[in-house]
């Protein structure tokens, strides 16, 4: 049984490698998507692209190589580490606006958690931002589903601010 890392390992990964892992894990064309970092490495090498093969043999000091970065993660966390744990998840633009509005609202005593965000959304925060034109009316159900998924993944007590997407 693999023990899950106690720190947020997704913060220790480049956006490029995170996106690559997410693409491989969620690829509907793969019969058996990779589940571990070791399997991700095999899948990258199996892609057979010249770039992937070249990356495998780059000097270890080359920070730009996805395989070198992946090898460092495997060295630190092991080949059996769950790949999806290394995918960086951020709130959508609409949910980021909701989180920012909650953070700016003086009625929140402290930084809102995901649970507080869900409660605020159900109790009118989303409707208020729709009325202000900050969020599209069609996104209301999607945003509630998104906050539920974030709660499932990170837990109700996670500070919502850490998931804001800055673009």
Bridge partner residues of 82 (DSSP): 36
Structure tokens at 61: 């000091």
Q: Other C-beta atoms within 10 Å of 129: how many? A: 22
- Block residue for tokens 């892992």: 21
pLDDT confidence of residue 78:
92
pLDDT confidence of residue 107:
77
Q: pLDDT tens digits, the chain, 167 residues: what are they?
A: 444 544 566 667 888 888 888 888 888 888 888 899 999 999 888 875 544 455 555 544 444 488 889 999 999 999 999 888 888 788 888 999 999 999 888 877 778 999 999 999 999 999 999 999 989 888 888 999 999 988 988 889 989 988 887 65
Instruction: Give whole-number Cα distances, 157 to 29, 53, 143, 154, in Å.
Output: 36, 43, 18, 8
In the chain, alpha helices (H): 15-25, 37-46, 50-56, 66-77, 93-104, 114-120, 126-132, 140-154
pTM of the predicted model, to two decimals? 0.60
Bridge partner residues of 113 (DSSP): 159
């Amino acid at each position: 049984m693999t023990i899950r890392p106690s720190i947020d390992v997704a913060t220790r990964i480049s956006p490029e490698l995170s996106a690559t892992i997410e693409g491989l894990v969620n690829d509907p064309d793969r019969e058996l998507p990779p589940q571990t970092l070791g399997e991700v490495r095999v899948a990258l090498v199996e892609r057979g692209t010249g770039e992937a093969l070249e990356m495998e043999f780059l000097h270890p000091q080359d920070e730009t190589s996805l395989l070198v970065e992946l090898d460092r993660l495997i060295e630190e966390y092991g080949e059996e580490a769950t790949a999806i744990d290394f995918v960086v998840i951020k709130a959508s633009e609409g949910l980021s606006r909701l989180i920012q509005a909650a953070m700016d609202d003086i009625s929140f005593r402290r930084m809102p958690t995901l649970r507080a965000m869900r409660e605020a959304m159900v109790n009118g925060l989303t409707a208020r931002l729709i009325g202000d034109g900050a969020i599209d009316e069609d996104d209301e159900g999607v945003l509630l589903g998104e906050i539920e998924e974030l709660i499932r993944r990170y837990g109700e007590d996670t500070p919502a601010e850490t998931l804001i997407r800055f673009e």
